[in-house]
Amino acid sequence: MQLYSTNNPSLRATFQEALFQGLPPDNGLYMPVRIPRMHESFLRELPKLSFSEIAYLLAEALMGDEIAPDTLRKIIHRTITFPAPVVALDEQTGILELFHGPSLAFKDFGARFMAQIMAHFNDDPSRDLIILVATSGDTGGAVAAGFYKTPGIRVVILYPSGKVSPLQEKQLTTLGHNITAIEVKGSFDDCQDLIKKAFLDENLRQRLRLSSANSINIARLLPQIFYYWEAYKQVQHLGLPIVFSVPSGNFGNLTAGLLAQQMGLPAQHFLAATNVNDTVPRYLKYGHFEPKPSVRTLSNAMDVGSPSNFARILQLYSSTWNIVRAHISGFAFDDEQTQAAMRAVYADHQYVLDPHTAVGYLAWKAYQSQQPIRAFGIILGTAHPAKFQEDVSKILRTDLPLPQPLEQLLKQPKSATPMPVDYALFRKWLSNTFG
């Protein structure tokens, strides 16, 4: 699989290079040079295929030139270990539940796949590969679970002290083994800065093999294509046009859906559903891309003012506003609307939406009321409501029980290394721990 940089089409990389670099040297984003189109027979056979067979055939079409079939099968087998069911709310609305993995959010798919791929390409058994990640909450849990006990790879997760939920903190700090948590006395941006400094530190990099598991890594994006097809498989018998509503922050999930469509997925339209951090819906409405500082909301994994994957979406449509608008409609909602939707869906369908998925639900309802044609809306259920149990219980005015594994998790002792915002100390810790 050849990739190019969104900043310079002649800057090329293999999948393996893009995986370990994360970003191209010119600070663009990697995009596939050619997006393979799936054969008619794949669509015909789809209803008979299992989720992991679907994922394998898509992965084979995308990266079969760099990874042998047996290896790819093993990687897929270890990635797709939980289902992605479409749960129908009514005749025209379904929730694609992507939260049945270990961290209870869709990010598990990308993180697990990336861990398996990195372990496969990690060809220097003499030195461990050290993955540095900063998290504001959800990413860290998915990466920790995804890389847990992966041979030859150590993971260091930096998180801002007191700024992640108790459940999220336990997901980062209780695994142990090859996962180490650093509790930084600062903000998420401070955590990112410490990591950035480590990557720019030539002397350190001569001694330690460092890499990142950033959300814009192509290896986290590609596996998200798989579940769009898995969702389509489950609803194709209805014979209705399919619209995907995607609760969005950095727009990786939506980008994966658009890639799936270019591979031949019969999706009629996509909805970019955001909270009040509405940079993309404003672009779709007015034609100007104007990022602004992010605002804190209930759906905080979507609090992104400057969505980084937007550059990828522009590439898909030759940076032409009208073409982008032909594929995507944008909708933004505030916290009050989000809470009202959660209450309405609970009252009408006894279904508990988490605040992120609720934004996707609102977008589908708004789009549906504008459109005269019948279609089936698939809302991407990006997180399990239990992950935001306190907020959800308060909003629904009911006591939401915590699933048993989460009760257990909250009882585990936390283990984290405290760290001030001081690069010299972080550097010393890295050298002492891994040098």
**Which residues form the interface with ligand PLP (CB under 6 A)?**
105, 107, 138, 247-253, 301-302, 356, 382-383
CB closer to ligand PLP out of 173 and 255: 255
CB of 79 or CB of 300, closer to ligand PLP: 300
Whether the CB-CB separation of 133 and 115 falls below 8 Å is answered with no
Closest C-alpha to 250, from 411, 115, 136: 136
Considering the complex, what minimum distance in angstroms separates the CB of residue 302 from ligand PLP? Answer: 5
CA dist., res. 380 & res. 99, Å (int): 10
CB of 188 to ligand PLP, least distance (A): 13
Q: Which CB, 1 or 358, lies closer to ligand PLP?
A: 358
Question: Is the Cβ–Cβ distance between 89 and 351 less than 8 Å?
Answer: yes
Tokens describing residue 320: 């032409």
Considering the complex, what minimum distance in angstroms separates the CB of residue 98 from ligand PLP?
Answer: 9
Question: Shortest CA distance to 179 belongs to which of 153, 213, 201?
Answer: 153
CB of 386 to ligand PLP, least distance (A): 12
Question: Cα 319 vs. chain centroid, distance in angstroms?
Answer: 23
For ligand PLP, give the closer residue by CB, 217 or 250.
250
Give the other-Cβ count within 10 Å of 349's Cβ: 15
Q: How far is the CB of 362 from ligand PLP (least distance, A)?
A: 14
Buried b (16+ CB within 10 A) or exposed e, 356-390: bbbbbbbbbbbbbeeeeeebbbbbbbbbbbbbbbe
Are the CB atoms for 121 and 16 separated by under 8 Å?
Answer: yes
Angle between helices 188-200 and 423-434 (to 10 degrees): 60
Find the shortest distance in angstroms from Cβ 418 to ligand PLP: 26
Identify which of residues 28 and 247 has a Cβ nearer to ligand PLP in the complex: 247
Task: In whole angstroms, give the CA distance from residue 285 to residue 152.
Answer: 48
Q: Shortest distance, CB of residue 151 to ligand PLP, whole angstroms?
A: 27
Q: Which is nearer to ligand PLP, 5 or 103 (CB)?
A: 103
Q: Which is nearer to ligand PLP, 198 or 353 (CB)?
A: 353
State the nearest-atom distance from the C-beta of 249 to ligand PLP, in Å: 4
In this complex, which beta carbon is closest to ligand PLP, that of residue 51 or of residue 388? 388
b/e string for 420-431 if b means 16 or more Cβ within 10 A? ebeeeebbeebe
Comparison of 122 and 382: residue with beta carbon closer to ligand PLP: 382
The smaller minimum CB distance to ligand PLP, of residues 198 and 406, is found at 406
> Least distance (Å) from ligand PLP to the CB of residue 6?
17
CB of 306 to ligand PLP, least distance (A): 12
